[in-house]
Structure 1
Amino acid sequence: MCGRYVMALRAGDLVDALSAAGLDDVEVPAPTAIQQSWNIAPTATVPILVERLVEVDDADDVEDAGADGSAAPAATLREIHTARWGLLPGWADSLSFSSKTFNARSETAASKPSFRSAVRRRRCAVPAQGYYEWRSSVDETTGKVVRTPHYIRPADGSVLLFAGLYEWWQDPGLAAAGADSWLLSTTILTGPSPEPGADDVDGDSGDGAQTLRTLADLHERIPLAMDAETAAAWIVPGERSREAATADVERLRARAHDVAAGWTVHEVGRAVGDVRHDSPELVEPPASLF
């Protein structure tokens, strides 16, 4: 799963990181503001990458805009927007609904009422620098379950691109008051971790395979991360059939472990468990006593 993650890049740096990953021409519409955080928790406001279609007349920089008055195709804009982490389908009765929809199980997302419309129509990528996961173990002395946090990030320092969904939700109270009532929300798709004992990835028995074994030991679920090619295809706007949407999600799962093989994992201090702690030190290994 993914219940805490890091996105501490400023808007311009995030655009540069996306470009370096292979996703060019990303814009950040004013007045979008990205809050830097090393400890993002569900219901926080986070950046997402979307594509949307606009009328050519609304896009100043689109080529072939019909200067002779002829019709021109619609333009696709790739943009960063901010959204509440926790999906709010249009029928949700309150904001609190989002506290349980920050992750979507990829195996059921295309059929589950909370997510099925977004799988077919509203997809995004959720950029991150890394995420936290907790390993559960039993203390042999006390018999109590101990949860140890770990930080997972791309070994090459690149940006993560989690497969996500988004929705627009109208707050009924604000709508009744005549105030701005529309809220953008998002969720991150998850899938099964590599099978315990996995020993190769595309024929690799080196660091990548070891990373997958570590992830399998750490938790039974992982967020579905994408390479740039997969992300570009995933966020293309438009409506798909339920069958096509299901096939798209299956392709995400099929490629996710190859992406995860390029990650690195290390233990971090327990301070990350308290959302009030938010600083770069959270991603560092715990200090040694010796």
Structure 2
Amino acid sequence: MSGVAALWNVYDQDGPTDPPINLYYNTGTAQLAVSIRSSTEAPDSGKGFAAAENDHPGVILNPSEIACGVFRGFQIVIAATEPMTASGTRPTTNQISAVSPVYMGLAQTSLQNAKVSMSASKANAWVYFLDGTAEHGVRLKEFNYTTGGVTSYLEGADIKLNSSLASWYDEASDERFVIYQRYSTSNTDLKEFNVTTRDNSPKAGTSVAVTNHKGIVYLYYTDSQSNLRRVMRRDNQWGTSAIVKNSPPVGNGQITVATANGLNHIFYMARDDSMAKQDFEHVHDPIEE
């Protein structure tokens, strides 16, 4: 089964009056191809771009599913791919990769999962995929394009192995949602998961950090879902807790904060690391003057 993903090419400023839809798909030779389709009721042009049968083969898994989205003006296509291995050996994992506009490995997952989804805001983008080898052992994972971190959700939940995924970002509520199919012997329900939890209860044993800037106190802590949260105190009154934007889930270590140049700089070790990241997170939280 070939993966397919569509994206309206609204960024083609020099193109036709009605920008086309770019229909991406993976071919029988594991390459990415694109077909140009009409965004109106007019007939499709039939134009497109694809590798020839005698070109080098690609690495996109087939069967699999692909996803696409826009991050800071770039159309990005995501796929499950076959990672490079030593000569004569077979891969022991699948790789989640950007395959356009450039190839870049993002994360690893188990061989049993080859489905991806992507959503984006004006400032960030997220890639979703599954990891796990058996029913009741599957978890949802999220790659954050801004931080490069990978976050795990729904550990031990009822996600069907290799379930198809669909995701979106709600700008009004600043929340992210993922649809997946649940594992069950009696039905095949689809379920919605809100990635952006609103539970502000402190995690047991959370580290805390505080800074005081011009009489406003900023307190940082970790909630029960390992989100980094901030609550402010002004005029002797504590405000409402809020998740710090673009902050990866916090690990078990210490949180520290320093104020400089209109920003609170928060440092900690993240709960989940990407393929190449083993360093302190450096999160920026604008202060109120």
Give the structure with higher Rg (CA).
2
Whose RCO is larger (CA < 8 A, sep 6+)? 1
TM-score of the alignment, normalized to the shorter chain, above 0.5: no
Q: TM-score under structure 2 normalisation?
A: 0.26
Which structure has more helix as a fraction of its residues? Answer: 1
| Structure with more strand by fraction | 2
Q: What is the TM-score normalised by the length of structure 1?
A: 0.26
